[in-house]
């Protein structure tokens, strides 16, 4: 009996690290891989969308092409509504312009920790920088003109003026009004963060990200028209979700027909059956 117990222990002990890692990943992994992904994110100044392409450099490193489009708010913005008419558009008193950023840059991504089972998480560190093009669009308000006695109340759309009495404002004007007065601002941008990739399939990518960013312009961006301080430097913290596909760039993959690639991708992306118990 002691002999059989010893043999059992000697067989089981080497397998403990494998059991601790979770469900063993027996997929055929793509070794030479590019990544094409999209992201949605919230940051401390607003929200945005992202496209990223990762060019294979080695098994742990990628060269990144990164494009962001984001809406940027002023930290002092407070939305309000016309007290006597709740059907009007909400507005931010004192806001002079809407501001968006289109950013394009290059960077680098390094895998710090690789997952070895289907339920694991791959941790990546990314950083990069480039240029930012800011779009500044004037905001119009619906403004009432108080009549003299015996005349009707009139209204018109006007840009913000510090001489407005807030009681004159009947809400925000149409969104598309002011696009013919769009102005641009060019700046520099950089960011860095961590990406936690958790997809169970090697052919697709799902990840949660957290990062920091900094964008600087040569002059203040006039978001607010009141006496609050406008900024030329925008620092933000962000969280986001990323999804996309893995592209096999090996010589063998390039030699395959489109139909073969499509069938192979369907096989790799089909749902993983859970083992019965």
Domain boundaries, the chain: 30-139+178-269
**Distance between CA atoms of 256 and 38, rounded to whole angstroms?**
26
Neighbours of 182 (CB within 10 A): 13
Query: Average pLDDT in the 96-116 region?
Result: 95
pLDDT at 85 (0 to 100): 59
Q: Using CB atoms within 10 A of its CB, is residue 143 exposed (0-12), middle (13-18) or buried (19+)?
A: buried
Q: Indicate the pLDDT class of residue 13, thresholds 50, 70 and 90.
A: very low
pLDDT at 257 (0 to 100): 60
Which is nearest to 25 in space by CA: 117, 146, 158, 137? Answer: 117
- Which residue matches tokens 């990164």? 66
pTM for this model (two decimals): 0.79
* pLDDT value at 230 more than 60: yes
The domain made up of 30-139+178-269 has a fold known as Porin (2.40.160)
Q: Indicate the pLDDT class of residue 25, thresholds 50, 70 and 90.
A: low
Dihedrals φ, ψ of 205, to 5°? -135, 130
Length of the chain counted residue by residue: 277
Give the end-to-end CA distance of the chain in Å, rounded to a whole number.
Answer: 29
**Distance between CA atoms of 54 and 64, rounded to whole angstroms?**
5
């Amino acid at each position: 009996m002691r002999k059989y117990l010893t043999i059992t222990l000697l067989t089981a002990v080497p397998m403990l690290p494998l059991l601790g890692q979770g469900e063993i990943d027996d997929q055929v992994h793509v070794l030479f891989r590019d990544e094409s992904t999209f992201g949605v994110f919230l940051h401390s100044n607003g929200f945005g969308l992202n496209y990223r392409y990762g060019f294979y450099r080695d098994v742990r490193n990628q060269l990144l092409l990164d494009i962001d489009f984001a809406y940027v708010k002023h930290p002092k913005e407070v939305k309000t509504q016309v007290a006597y008419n709740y059907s009007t558009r909400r507005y931010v008193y004192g806001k002079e312009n809407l501001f968006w950023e289109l950013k394009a840059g290059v960077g680098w991504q390094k895998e710090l920790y690789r997952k070895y089972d289907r339920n694991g998480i791959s941790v990546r560190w990314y950083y990069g920088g480039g240029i930012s093009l800011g779009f500044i669009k004037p905001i119009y308000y619906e403004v009432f003109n108080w009549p003299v006695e015996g005349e009707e109340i009139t209204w018109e759309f006007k840009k913000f003026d510090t001489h407005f009495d807030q009681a004159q404002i009947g809400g925000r004007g149409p969104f598309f009004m002011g696009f013919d007065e769009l102005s641009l601002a060019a700046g520099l941008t950089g960011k860095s963060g961590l990406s936690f990739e958790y997809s169970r399939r090697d052919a697709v990518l799902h990840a949660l990200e957290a990062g920091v960013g900094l964008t600087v312009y040569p002059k203040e961006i006039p978001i607010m028209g009141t006496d609050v301080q406008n900024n030329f430097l925008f620092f933000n913290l962000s969280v986001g979700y990323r999804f996309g596909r893995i592209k096999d760039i090996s010589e063998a993959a390039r030699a395959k027909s489109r139909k073969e690639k499509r069938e192979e991708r369907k096989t790799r992306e089909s749902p993983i059956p859970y083992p019965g118990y």
